[in-house]
Amino acid sequence: MKMTPLILTLPALALAACQQQPADETAATGNAAMPAGNAMIMAGNNASAMMPNAPVAAPTNAAGYVAQAGAADLFEIESSKAALEKSQNKAVRDFAQMMIDQHQKSTADIKAAAQKAGVTVQPPKLMANQQQMLEEIKAADAGRFDSVYVRNQRMAHDAALALHQGYARDGDTPALKQTAGAVAKVVQAHIDRLASLPAA
């Protein structure tokens, strides 16, 4: 009978530990203050942790949209150049060439709409998470290349779709909103095509 109080307290202690665990893990990993870009980097290293459809706050100002759209296109182009060099899969190579062609076009379309609206267009620069995914693609060996490329393409396209749809809905410049809506349809078509690739 003297053991009973101890036995009864063990479940309570275990429950308290479980309730405290997420906070401890958050503190250990720094997730509480982690920017969205860094969260995507972690997801790139652990595909199961990525939630592609998680809501992303798209910029509503023209300059912010143009900068992020340019970065998204740059990632698609550079990662797809790597795919043309390293992939042995014809379907993947065909997709990569389409990415280069169509994202170069979307860059030109957005740049033209921005200039027409009087918005200054700076040379595109990859964001930290995009640079991480590009490096991962370039570093992948032949056996893993297609799966890494397709996985990162899917994450990048999900983010791009949220960007273009968000600006098309809430953006501050009519000409750019129209272009964003058109580009969003192209990005959605790319997502649909990704689902058919062998490495998807």
- Would you say residue 1 has pLDDT above 50? no
pLDDT in tens, 78-97: 999 999 999 999 999 999 99
The closest alpha carbon to 198, from 46, 95, 98, belongs to 95
pTM across the whole model = 0.72
pLDDT > 70: percent of the chain: 71
| Range with lowest mean pLDDT among 28-37, 80-89, 106-115 | 28-37
Q: Dig out the tokens for 142 from the structure.
A: 């032949």
- DSSP-assigned letters across all residues of 80-148: HHHHHHH---HHHHHHHHHHHHHHHHHHHHHHHHHHHTT---PPP---HHHHHHHHHHHH--TTTHHHH
3-state secondary structure of 53: coil
Distance of CA 185 to the CA centre of its chain: 17
pLDDT > 90: percent of the chain: 69
